[in-house]
Structure 1
Amino acid sequence: MENRPQPFHITLVRHGESVGNAEARWQGQADYPLTDTGRAQARALAERWKNENAKFDLLISSPLIRTKETSEIIAATLNVTVEFDPLWLERDNGDFSGLTAHEVRQNFTHPQFSTPYDPVGGDGEGDWELFLRAGQALQSLLKREPARYLIVSHGGLLNQFMHAVIGVAPQANNSGTRFRFGNTAFAQLMYYPHQHRWAIDRINDHAHWKDTD
């Protein structure tokens, strides 16, 4: 019997609650650590997966502190190797980075209509640019051998990764589909390269931490 290629098992996790989350800031690539709650969320997820006997061959993480801390907590519990890759960084929010939502509203003018090609925060990544980087992250992942990959990243980037998977380009005025990723919530996907078929098994699973956003 002919052996078919093995599928890719891909788990996408958003980092635990960060100081920037708790202060309602546009974090982007500003580097905020986890809160005590965020660390507890990461430990709860790691313990859940340990109890479920979850196995991962490699953990790939954004290098920002909030994702790095989340990754290291999980990796220590599950004994998995961590690799840091800047393709998985959060959106560059330009001049909005580190500001609260109130500060952004008060200090910047906002056009009535925006396209996906417009930058965010003056010179940050617009939706199209972030979508293209998410596509690079996807392509980079699929150049590897099929295995069980755990990705720890950010809500904005993970949304565009999901859009790249399902083939939906960014829309004008921030409209269209959004995928919810609460803090330490995860999605699970499988990709069958011999059929070019995706299966999305879970989205925003946060059973380990019920009151996540």
Structure 2
Amino acid sequence: MLIGLVRHGKTDWNEQGKIQGQTDIPLNEVGIVQAKALAERLSREDQIWDAVISSDLQRAHATAQIIASKLNIPLLESEPRLRERYFGEVEGTREQERHERWGTNWREVAEGVESNAEVRARGLSAINEWKLKYPKRNLLVVSHGSFLAQIMEEICSDLEDQYISNLSYSILELRDEKWHPQLYNCTIHLNEA
């Protein structure tokens, strides 16, 4: 089984440096172009994906729609467990604002920020369900930066800790009940966008 992990395309809040969390912000024009660039790349490569599944937030779902349409593969029902981390009262703020209001340890101080353990638990719940439901299918998953970072750190602990870029593409292979990275945080397709 393969799982592809894709971060959604850019939004206005990404460009403004605001934390989105579960605030439902749409893709902007740059994000649409980015999604089309990855879709084009995947259409030129060997077809390995059987279906696309995404978070139910519109920026991820729109990215997934563009890819599924280009590859002519099913877009499965959106999955709320793939949502970005909930950032509580911090959503919509920029870094300077967060540091002024809560300090540099704002993740521990601000109200309502979902913990790493909570993010990982819901992500692993989805992955474990797919292993049982689709053991012979390769799924392309479109989600969010903080969520994907937590999931990859949890199931592939030997990966280098990197910022997960908009429209980055990673591939994990399940072998002997362990996930092995085949590609990590790749954005080469954005050079063509």
The 3 A distance-change label for structure 1 pair 72 and 125 is same
TM-score (norm 1): 0.81
Code of the residue aligned with 2:182 in structure 1: it is D
Higher mean alpha-carbon deviation, 142-151 vs 51-60, is at: 51-60
Matched residues in 2 for 1:183 and 1:211: separation? 15
Unaligned runs of 5+ in 2: none
Q: Of residues 121, 134, 143 in structure 2, which corresponds to 1:153?
A: 143
The aligned counterpart of 2:183 is 202
Q: 2:33 aligned with 1:40, yes or no?
A: yes
Question: RMSD value over aligned CA atoms?
Answer: 2.3
User: How far apart are 1:178 and its partner, in Å?
Assistant: 2.3
The aligned counterpart of 1:103 is 97
Matched residues in 1 for 2:59 and 2:33: separation? 13
Q: Of residues 12, 19, 23 in structure 2, which corresponds to 1:30?
A: 23
The 3 A distance-change label for structure 1 pair 13 and 111 is closer
User: How far apart are 1:140 and its partner, in Å?
Assistant: 2.2
Unaligned runs of 5+ in 1: 1-7, 169-175
Q: How many residues matched?
A: 191
Q: 2:46 aligned with 1:65, yes or no?
A: no
Tell me if the contact between 1:15 and 1:154 (Cα under 8 Å) persists in the aligned partners: yes
Code of the residue aligned with 1:149 in structure 2: it is L
Q: Of residues 121, 141, 153 in structure 2, which corresponds to 1:163?
A: 153
The aligned counterpart of 2:12 is 19
Tell me if the contact between 2:156 and 2:181 (Cα under 8 Å) persists in the aligned partners: no
The aligned counterpart of 1:54 is 47
Q: Pick the structure with greater CA Rg.
A: 1
1:166-205 equivalences under 5 Å are 166=156, 178-192=161-175, 195-205=176-186
User: How far apart are 1:71 and its partner, in Å?
Assistant: 0.7
Matched residues in 2 for 1:167 and 1:39: separation? 32
Code of the residue aligned with 1:33 in structure 2: it is P
Tell me if the contact between 2:49 and 2:139 (Cα under 8 Å) persists in the aligned partners: yes
Identity of aligned residues (%): 31
User: How far apart are 1:196 and its partner, in Å?
Assistant: 1.8
The 3 A distance-change label for structure 1 pair 81 and 121 is farther
User: How far apart are 1:70 and its partner, in Å?
Assistant: 0.5
